[in-house]
């Protein structure tokens, strides 16, 4: 979703050997968090490039050595913040001495650590206290895992720190047991060692939060400071608190606007934009009005949906059946959630990015049986009715393709152009689709799954008029061309996934946990009664997509 900040250049340390100081991590994270939030406004087009970057577990943790901060610089201020957090400088007064052998053993552990097998044995010998759940390292909130799932370095760094906390928890447990035994014998009450190690445990939890903050929306970052750490880094009640805060902010904005209107007789009345007539089904999402601000991917501006949509209207069904390419009528609404010029241009008409001028080497000579011809005739008639295909004439430079039908689970057939020859002139960029592995990272106890199916998702994207000649076929002496994105085009999955990214960002910044796999949207929520599913359907229909109500929308398992 968001481009990775500088601190994700750190490499994870193999086998829990921390080769760099936590101070260096903390300063760098602090600096990244204080930098201009424009990096968090970048277009989600950078996601695929981030996913393709690999990691080398044997590489050093940092490519750049830590430099001495200049007085007055932001880095120097970060150091001062850390020193203030840690307290005054350690006293030069030395404690009592121990035997030389014990001191040498401790020094060896401090300088070299312990081997993996010894560490495992020691941790098993001193498990965490059964009645102290706070000893378990806090987990990343499920709402934020979608922002981190593609950033391998950030996830690995957090995993590494949580493992350090597990070791500290084992040490705290051992000290606590020893403290109880000592107290029973001597009745002395000295909890100082426990306090020191527990404070280190808490400091690591805070650092893990600081490391995640640069990936989050600016409003979320400000709000997260008020959330206490429990079993989750940002608190298990974060989603509910965030939604309540958003509602309060919206209400405060509304009251303030009314007071200004009443208090100033010379103020101009608010002028609302009229809703444009829609060629197909649309429901103005009332849930969008309850989430007032949407951050652009680029730039620092914010959009008020309450100014764009003054009131909600009832849900309507298609006024006509020709819905293919309908997203071109919703470009102005898409501009409310994205300023990605590529996406906006595709919504107006997709232009295929040929690496060289296409030239057809051979013409297809399809042959069909009588039964196949009848099925093809019905399928082509259906495509014409929805506006996906139009009759045309033979044109210079057009491409003719063979075609076939594949059965759908519902018993109908899907019309497929054999675009293999045209695909040779296209090079779709490498990108990764979200799948069940992404879902596994986001699930939590007692969650519900709801699937939303988009009707003819590819057909919603129009193809530019000058590029339709490359999507031509001939049946029973009549020429046809596609007006929208067809199945079989190698760039189609990438185009559709990129177009859907702003919707995913909109949902995730509002606490909706969702995963998109092509035209299927999975909502993960506490229960099916939550508003998350309705929010998703509202934004989809507001932007011109058609939710397939013929397919069941509900709990998967």
Q: Does position 504 have pLDDT exceeding 70, yes or no?
A: yes
Which of 271, 291, 323 finishes a domain?
271
Residue 375 predicted with pLDDT over 70: yes
pLDDT at 547 over 50: yes
Sign of CA dihedral 298, 304, 305, 308: negative
pLDDT band at 519 (very low <50, low <70, confident <90, very high): confident
Q: Pick the more confident residue, 134 or 264.
A: 134
**Residue 416 falls within a domain, yes or no?**
no
- Find the range with the poorest average confidence among 7-21, 177-191, 485-499: 7-21
Q: Are residues 117 and 27 in the same domain?
A: yes
Specify the range with the lowest mean pLDDT, choosing from 305-314, 485-494, 514-523: 305-314
Q: Rg (Cα) of the chain, in Å, rounded?
A: 30
Most confident of 31-45, 409-423, 482-496: 482-496
pLDDT confidence of residue 288 = 43
Same domain, 199 and 226: yes
Same domain flag for 169 and 249 = no
pLDDT of residue 24: 34
Is residue 249 located within the same domain as residue 189? no
Do 49 and 177 have their domain in common? yes
In a domain, 127, yes or no: yes
Give me the phi and psi of 315, to 5 degrees please: -70, 135
Domain assignment present for residue 217? The answer is yes
Within this chain, do residues 189 and 167 fall inside the same structural domain, yes or no?
A: yes
Instruction: Report in angstroms the alpha-carbon separations of 34 from 39, 74, 191, 225, 419.
Output: 11, 9, 37, 14, 49
210 and 180 within one domain: yes
Full-model pTM: 0.48
Lowest mean pLDDT among 156-170, 299-313, 534-548: 299-313
Least confident residue range of 91-100, 114-123, 407-416, 447-456: 91-100
Q: Which residues form the domain of 253?
A: 240-271
**Which of 216, 251, 271 delimits the end of a domain?**
271
Beta bridge partners of 302: 295
CB-CB contact of 170 with 72 (8 Å): no
What's residue 81's pLDDT? 53
Is 547 inside a domain boundary? no
Percent residues over pLDDT 70 in the chain: 61
Q: Output 551 or 337, whichever has higher pLDDT.
A: 337
State the average pLDDT for the chain. 69
User: What does the pLDDT look like over 381-432, one tens digit per residue?
Assistant: 999 998 999 999 887 778 888 888 888 887 888 898 888 889 999 988 888 8
Is residue 137 domain-shared with residue 195, that is, in the same domain?
yes
Same domain, 170 and 247: no
Same domain flag for 182 and 245: no
**Tokens at 316, concatenated:** 């309507």
40 shares a domain with 183? yes
What pLDDT is recorded for position 351? 92
Q: Looking at the 3D structure of the chain, how many domains does it have?
A: 2
């Amino acid at each position: 979703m968001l481009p990775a900040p500088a601190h994700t250049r750190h490499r994870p340390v193999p086998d829990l050997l921390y080769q760099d100081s936590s101070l260096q991590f903390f300063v760098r994270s602090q600096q990244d968090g204080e930098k201009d939030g424009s990096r968090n406004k970048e277009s989600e087009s950078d996601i695929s490039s981030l996913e393709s970057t690999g990691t080398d577990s044997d590489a050093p943790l940092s490519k750049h050595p830590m430099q001495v901060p200049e007085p007055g610089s932001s880095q120097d201020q970060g150091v001062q913040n850390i020193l203030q957090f840690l307290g005054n400088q350690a006293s030069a007064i030395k404690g009592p001495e121990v035997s030389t052998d014990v001191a040498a053993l401790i020094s060896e552990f401090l300088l070299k650590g312990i081997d993996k097998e010894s560490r495992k044995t020691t941790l098993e010998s001193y498990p965490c206290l059964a009645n102290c759940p706070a000893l378990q390292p806090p987990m990343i909130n499920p709402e934020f895992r979608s922002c981190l799932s593609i950033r391998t370095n950030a996830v690995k760094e957090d995993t590494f720190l949580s493992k350090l906390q597990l070791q500290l928890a084992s040490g705290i447990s051992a000290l606590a047991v020893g403290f109880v035994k000592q107290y029973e014998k001597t009745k002395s009450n000295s909890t100082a060692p426990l306090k020191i190690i527990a404070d280190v445990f808490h400091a690591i939890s805070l650092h893990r939060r600081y490391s995640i903050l640069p990936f989050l929306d600016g409003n979320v970052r400000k709000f997260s400071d008020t959330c206490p750490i429990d079993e989750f880094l940002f608190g298990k009640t974060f989603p509910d608190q965030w939604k309540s805060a958003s509602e309060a902010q919206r209400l405060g904005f509304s009251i303030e606007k009314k007071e200004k209107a009443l208090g100033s007789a010379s103020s101009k009345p608010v002028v609302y934009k009229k809703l444009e007539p829609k060629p197909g089904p649309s429901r103005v999402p009332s849930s969008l009005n309850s989430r007032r601000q949407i951050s652009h991917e680029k730039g620092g501006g914010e959009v008020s949906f309450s100014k764009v949509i003054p009131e909600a209207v009832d849900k309507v069904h298609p006024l006509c059946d020709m819905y293919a390419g309908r997203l071109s009528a919703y470009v102005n609404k898409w501009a409310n959630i994205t300023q990605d010029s590529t996406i906006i241009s595709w919504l107006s008409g997709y232009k295929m990015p040929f690496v060289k001028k296409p030239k057809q080497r051979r013409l297809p000579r399809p042959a069909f049986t009588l039964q196949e011809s009848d099925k093809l005739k019905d399928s082509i008639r259906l495509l014409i009715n929805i506006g996906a295909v139009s009759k045309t004439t033979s044109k210079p430079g057009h491409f003719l393709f063979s075609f076939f039908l594949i059965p759908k689970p519902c018993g109908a057939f899907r019309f497929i152009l054999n675009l293999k020859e045209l695909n040779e002139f296209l090079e779709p960029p490498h990108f990764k689709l979200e799948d069940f592995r992404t879902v596994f990272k986001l699930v939590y106890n007692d969650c519900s799954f709801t699937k939303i199916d988009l009707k003819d998702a590819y057909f919603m994207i129009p193809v530019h008029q000058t590029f339709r000649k490359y999507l031509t076929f001939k049946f029973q002496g009549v020429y046809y061309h596609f007006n929208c994105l067809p199945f079989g085009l190698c760039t189609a999955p990438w185009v559709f996934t990129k177009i859907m990214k702003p919707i995913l960002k909109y949902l995730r910044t509002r606490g909706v946990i969702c995963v998109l796999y092509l035209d299927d949207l999975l909502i993960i929520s506490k229960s099916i009664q939550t508003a998350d599913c309705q929010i998703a359907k509202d934004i989809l229909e507001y932007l011109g997509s058609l939710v397939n109500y013929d397919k069941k929308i509900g709990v998967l398992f």
